[in-house]
Structure 1
Amino acid sequence: MTDELPLFPLGTVLFPGLVLPLHVFEERYRALVRHLTALPEGSPREFGVVAIERGWEVDHHAGANDSLTLHEVGCTAQIRQVTEHPDGQFDLVTVGHRRFRIEQVDRTTEPYLVAKVNWLDEPEDSATNADRLVPGLLELFQRYLRLIRPDREGEQLPEEATVLSHLIAATTALPLSDRQGLLASPDTTSRLRTERTLLNREIALLTRIRAVPVPLTELAVSTSPN
Structure 2
Amino acid sequence: MTERLPLFPLGSVLFPGLVLPLHVFEERYRRLVADLEAQPEDVPRRFGVVAIRDGQEVAPVRDTDEPAGAADGFGPDPVRALHTVGCVAEVASAQARPDGRFELIATGTTRFRLLSVDASGPYLVGKVEELPETEGPGAGALAAGVVQAFRRYQKRLAGARESTLAAEQELPDDPRVLSYLVAAASVLEVADRQRLLAAADTTERLAVELELLRRETAVLSRLPSLPAWELTRAAVNPN
Shorter-chain TM-score range: 0.7 to 0.9
1:64 and 2:78 are equivalent in the alignment: no
Which runs of no fewer than 5 residues in structure 2 stay unpaired? 63-67, 161-165, 226-236
Q: Indicate the residue corresponding to 1:38 in structure 2.
A: 38
Distance in 1, matches of 2:169 and 2:73, equals: 41
Question: Match for 1:120 among 124, 131, 135?
Answer: 131
1:174 aligns to 2:188 (yes or no): yes
3-state SS of 1:209 partner: coil
CA distance in 2, matches of 1:11, 1:58: 13
Aligned-partner Cα distance in 2 for 1:72–1:65: 17
Q: Distance in 2 between matches of 1:169 and 1:19?
A: 13
Give TM-score, length-normalised by structure 1: 0.87
1:145 and 2:147 are equivalent in the alignment: no
Give the gaps of 5 or more residues in structure 1: 212-224
- Asked if the contact 2:59/2:74 (under 8 Å) is kept, the reply is no
Deviations, residues 174-225 of structure 1 (Å, cap 9, x unaligned): 11111111111010000000000000000111112248xxxxxxxxxxxxx9
Paired position in structure 2 for 1:133: 142
Q: Tell me the TM-score normalised to structure 2 length.
A: 0.82
Counterpart-to-counterpart distance in 1, 2:60 and 2:172: 35
Residue 107 of structure 1: aligned partner: 119
1:187 aligned to 2:185?
A: no
Q: Secondary structure at the match of 2:222?
A: helix
Residue of structure 1 equivalent to 2:163: none
- Shift in Å, 1:44: 1.2
- Of 90, 98, 110, 2:110 maps to 98
Aligned residue identity for 2:109: H
Q: Distance in 2 between matches of 1:41 and 1:150?
A: 47
| 1:83 equivalenced with 2:95 (yes/no) | yes
Aligned residue pair count = 210
How far apart, in 2, do the equivalents of 1:153 and 1:204 lie? 23
Moved more, 164-173 or 9-18: 164-173
For residues 58 and 121 of structure 1, what CA distance do their matches in structure 2 show? 34
Aligned-residue identity in percent: 48
Using the alignment, how far apart are the partners of 2:51 and 2:118 within structure 1? 17
Query: Counterpart amino acid of 2:114?
Result: I
RMSD: 1.9
Identify the range of structure 1 (62-71 vs 43-52) with the bigger mean alpha-carbon deviation: 62-71
1:95-134 Cα distance to aligned partner (Å, 9 max, x none): 10000001010011x211001001101125x2x5211211
Amino acid at match of 2:138: N
Specify the SS of the correspondent of 2:108: strand
Counterpart contact for 1:82–1:92, Cα < 8 Å? yes
Q: Deviations over 1:81-105 (max 9, x none)?
A: 1111111100011110000001010
Structure with higher helix content:
1
Partner SS for 1:40: coil
Contact 1:26/1:58 (8 A) holds in 2: no
In 2: Cα distance, 1:19 partner to 1:66 partner: 26
Any conservation in 2 of the 1:10–1:57 contact (CA below 8 Å)? Answer: no
Alignment deviations for residues 29-52 of structure 1 (CA, whole Å, 9 cap, x no partner): 011001101111211111000000
Distance 1:19 1:57, change over 3 A: farther
